[in-house]
Structure 1
Amino acid sequence: MINSFNTEFSKLLNYQDNPKNNFVLGLSGGLDSMVLLYSLKNFIDKFDSHKIKIFPVIIDHNLRSESSDEAKAVQEISKKIGFQTSIKKIVNNKPNGNIQDWARRNRRDLLFESCSILSANLLLAHHFDDQAETLFMRFTKNSGLDGLIGMKSISFWNGIFILRPFLNFSKNQIYNYAINNNIKYFEDSSNYLLKYERVRVRYLLNNIKTNVWKNISKDLNRFGVVSSNLITKINILFNDWIKQNAIIDKCGGVRLCHDSTRILFEKSDIFCIKFFIKIIQTVGGKEYPPKRKQVRHLINSLFIMKFKKHTLGNVCVFLKQNYIYFLREQRNLHFNTEIKKNKKYIFDGRFIISSSASGTLISSETGNHNIISDKSPFYDYKRLINNTIPCIQTLEGKLIKPHLKIIDEKTKINTNEIIKPNSFKLYLINRVLI
């Protein structure tokens, strides 16, 4: 397995269109991440020409009484084989509802914070069987085609690349490698609790594999590859249409030509729905997309029925002079948040913040900062937009106007820029073209 891993990881390193050689490893202490830790150690020892640095980060979810001791034990193991390893504890109050989703979000945010501090990309230990589980779960939820492509070996999220070098390796391969190399790992008792959806799916898949469909995991993964290839080809056409017919502004607003979008809708309503979903996620900042049924109703009202101003997913949608506008609503905005200098933050799910000063986020309208040029197609709505975009009030009381950019896979956030005085940058996370 290790030779195949070295080949796979080398390919991923060469594929990255990103100069970062630092990687944060999400280290849970479980079988998969511990084997990935040792595999990376082997890779570095054999191929030091890549000059990569690995920084394992252990997330203590603080959900089990033994989690703190386990985290310290994993940290010691990681340090002994030469890695600078840190522990981050989730301190947010546990919800009454979906604990696994809460844990996933908090874990993701802490790993993103570590990547930002270290100017690093992220390594995760998802494997072949995890992919099958993910696809099976999405099948049962009637996901659209985008949801059926599964996880990718390399993907882009909020300014960082996420690498999953184990996606082509099965759980059995990983387990056998651990046994043959005496790799210690820790079992999370929650992995066997049927109250969690993924555990139930894993149990069901194992039953299907044993009694009905031996190759279900392989077939699900094959389907994921086919779906991914199809989506890639669709996205080429999709992006060409966007560049010709849409304005995605760094302020977070989007404008479409009504007539061109109507033609698109008449040719392919599925394509049009996909497009609107991505726009609403970009403008509204919500992690999860709006329901397709709601988006279809919005599109039907635009092109079939008499249209009135519409809101969906924190987004205000309206018509003016043959243009469709998408602007962020003036609600559910968390201003008055304190930030520290030279750290990365995500504001409203829309912008990555990079600031050379510590202070408090206030709306640009409150700070009397007009960030919309009089030549902008969004100028008529400058006040509404200013109310949804932060500026910073420093600890000394100085107001700093934001400098806006758009981030996508080709954008590099220059972490050295934040050392400049009075620097406050907002990078719009463009989900339309990602």
Structure 2
Amino acid sequence: MENIITNLKTQLKDKKVLVAVSTGIDSSVLLDILIKNKETLNIEIVVAHVNHQRREESEKEAEYIKEYCNENNIKIYTKTLSKVSDGNFQEWARKERMAFFYEIARAENIKYVLLAHHAQDNLETILMRLIRSSSLKGYAGIEELSRYKDIYIYRPLLRVTKDQIKEYANNHNVRYFDDKSNEEDKYFRNRIRKYIIPSMEEENPKLYQAINDFSKTLINASQIIEDETNKFIENKVLVHNNIISFSQNNFKTLSPFLATEVLFTLLKPYGFSKENVEEIIKQINASKPLIINKIRPNLTMVKEYGMVHFTKETLETEPFFLEIKEEGVYKLPKNREIVFKNNLCEFKANKGNICYNNKELPIYIRTKREGDFIRYSHGTKKVSDILTNLKVSWLERHDILLLCNKDGEVTDILGYRVNNK
């Protein structure tokens, strides 16, 4: 415990901090340490308490911490969780707490939120993730200092054992409340604490030092992986208009592990598991040149012409039809426009202008249809085949517009030079 004050000075001196206090032994000890060293650290303390309403003692504990903070001239915020989660209560409650802490931090202009996780919490987390599977960084356990949006989450007791916390509480007469739900076998974490960790402690008296070393090693290794992942994303991945794109050949230069990390990072907002990502990588590495896969309702993967794209946009074409009766400027979908003037049709994406005869008006602009073709002097050619020859991406094809004469025959593909003479 002697290193705690030194670490607190390094992280918190002259700062305003928010301390999450449940009234259990861990957070009560943390609050006591901060109060006793308040002058030394020159800190301002604000307390947050969440009443989960899961036990009869909850109301009593909430009243106690309010009185305690008033006696010590500490500002306190409290929240009562009224909603009952239908799923994983612990995970739901954790998210509710973090949202509450963040709300207070923003209101009080606080950058550091302190949580009382300790060495045994870290070991429990590592074991849970080893059993259930996680990332390399996840296997490292709980971070002592991490970010949540634009604030820091700091855990000063993370290298302190439970026995040391109990010893401090006894020596300093710290009042706290026991949470009996921590003994219930229905929670996975509790089962690990009760049945697995005691055996590990018997096998290695220096278990927590070993776990600390293990955690540090994985954190350092995961940082190297994260740096390499970010390097590839920054240099080889293009993100534009909600489309993520990269070269298939560049992606294949990555090791299988790093390829998984890169794709997992890119697709993290969509909630993919590592297993999902590995299946997508199989499609990227497959010999099939064209793959279009709607992997989520709001995400489609397109592999073509040596490129891989992930897009939020639907690839379904929105029908469009426009009759041009006279010269002028006309608005088109996707903030495009086309100009008809002096027998020339000017479309920004075209390499050169398209000629037309204003005596042959009206002419039409419409979206592509199945079976469309352009007539040449030597025969006809399907629009789809022309686009394939021009290597037009499937991401672009659903935005294609065709220029048609007054008889409805396709004469040009807007944005692409097509010689139909």
TM-score (norm 2): 0.69
What residue in structure 2 maps to residue 30 of structure 1? 24
**Match in the other structure for 1:295:** 277
- Mark the runs of 5 or more structure 2 residues left unpaired by the alignment: 315-333, 336-347, 350-394, 400-421
Amino acid at match of 1:310: K
More moved, 178-187 vs 140-149: 140-149
**1:94 alignment partner in structure 2:** 85
The 8 Å contact of residues 238 and 244 in structure 2, kept in 1 or not, is answered as yes
Q: CA deviation at 1:324?
A: 3.0
Quick one: distance in 2 between partners of 1:122 and 1:313?
37
Question: Which shifted more, 239-248 or 222-231?
Answer: 239-248
1:173 aligned residue (161, 164, 170):
164
Structure 2 counterpart of 1:8: 7
Q: Which amino acid aligns with 2:6?
A: T
Report whether the alignment pairs 1:280 with 2:280.
no
For the structure 1 residues 124 and 21, does the alpha-carbon distance in structure 2 shift closer, same or farther, using more than 3 Å as the test? same
**How many angstroms apart in 2 are the aligned matches of 1:102 and 1:179?**
33
Instruction: State whether residues 280 and 313 of structure 1, in contact with CA within 8 Å, keep that contact through their aligned partners in structure 2.
Output: no
SS of 1:82 mapped into structure 2: coil
- Residue 131 of structure 1 is aligned with which of 113, 118, 122? 122
Deviations 1:57-109 (A, max 9, x none): 001112223212211211211232221011111122332x4222222222222
CA distance in structure 2 between the partners assigned to 1:30 and 1:131 by the alignment: 17
Deviation at residue 222 of structure 1 after TM alignment: 1.6
Structure 1 residues 75 and 226: CA distance shift in structure 2, 3 A: same
Q: CA deviation at 1:313?
A: 8.9
Q: Give, in whole Å, the separation in 1 of the partners of 2:15 and 2:300.
A: 41
| Identical positions, percent | 25
Give the drift of 1:314: 5.5
Aligned: 1:268 with 2:255: yes
Residue in 1 that maps onto 2:109 = 119
Counterpart in 1 of 2:358? none
Residue 162 (structure 1) aligned with residue 143 (structure 2): no
Which runs of 5 or more residues in structure 1 are unaligned?
Answer: 15-19, 331-368, 385-434
Amino acid aligned to 2:71: K
Query: Which of the two has higher C-alpha Rg?
Result: 2
Matching residue of 1:65: 56
Residue 297 of structure 1 and its aligned partner are, at CA, apart by 0.8
Match of 1:247 in 2: 238
| Counterpart position of 1:316 | 300
Rounded Cα–Cα distance in structure 1 between residues aligned with 2:69 and 2:195: 34
Task: Give 1:254 deviation, angstroms.
Answer: 5.2
- Give the aligned partner of residue 131 of structure 2: 140
Higher RCO (CA 8 Å, separation ≥ 6 residues): 1
Does the 8 A contact of 1:246 with 1:254 survive in 2?
no
Render the CA deviation track for 1:100-129: whole Å, top value 9, x for unaligned.
222222222222222232232311111111
Equivalent-residue separation in structure 2 for 1:312 and 1:211 (angstroms) = 48
Structure 2 counterpart of 1:116, one-letter code: R
For the Cα contact (< 8 Å) 2:12–2:41, is it kept in 1? no
- Are 2:217 and 1:231 equivalent residues in the alignment? no
CA distance in 1, matches of 2:79, 2:312: 33
Opposite residue 296 of structure 1, the aligned amino acid is E
Which residue of structure 2 aligns with residue 326 of structure 1?
310
